Amino acid sequence: MWLPTPVYKALPTLYAVIGVTFILGVLYIGVDAQMGPTYLAVGLVSILASITVRTWRNRHRSKAEETRQDESQES
């Protein structure tokens, strides 16, 4: 599945915003509420997903940059 570039670039930020929203929701309704632990879990998973996607993208970009530099030095 291919996403439009603006959507693809915004996904980690969207994940972080969703995570923060769920965590703030837990603070609003209280951790002892019926769905409190679920909201907290979804919030934490969303924030971890944001960090993971950013890390993967940065690693991929640095590897691609190294490859480009190696190719330009060989020429």
* pLDDT single digits (tens) 18-60: 999 999 999 999 999 999 999 999 999 999 999 999 999 999 9
- Residue-number span of the structural domain to which 30 is assigned: 11-58
Q: Do the domain assignments include residue 21?
A: yes
Q: Do the domain assignments include residue 70?
A: no
pLDDT tops 90 at residue 67: no
Query: In total, how many domains does the chain have?
Result: 1
CA separation (Å) from 2 to 7, 8, 40? 10, 9, 30
Q: Do the domain assignments include residue 33?
A: yes
Q: Do the domain assignments include residue 23?
A: yes
Q: What is the pTM of this model?
A: 0.80
Q: Do the domain assignments include residue 36?
A: yes
Query: Tell me, what's the pLDDT at 75?
Result: 61
Tell me the average pLDDT across 65-75. Answer: 74
Q: Do the domain assignments include residue 2?
A: no
Q: Do the domain assignments include residue 74?
A: no
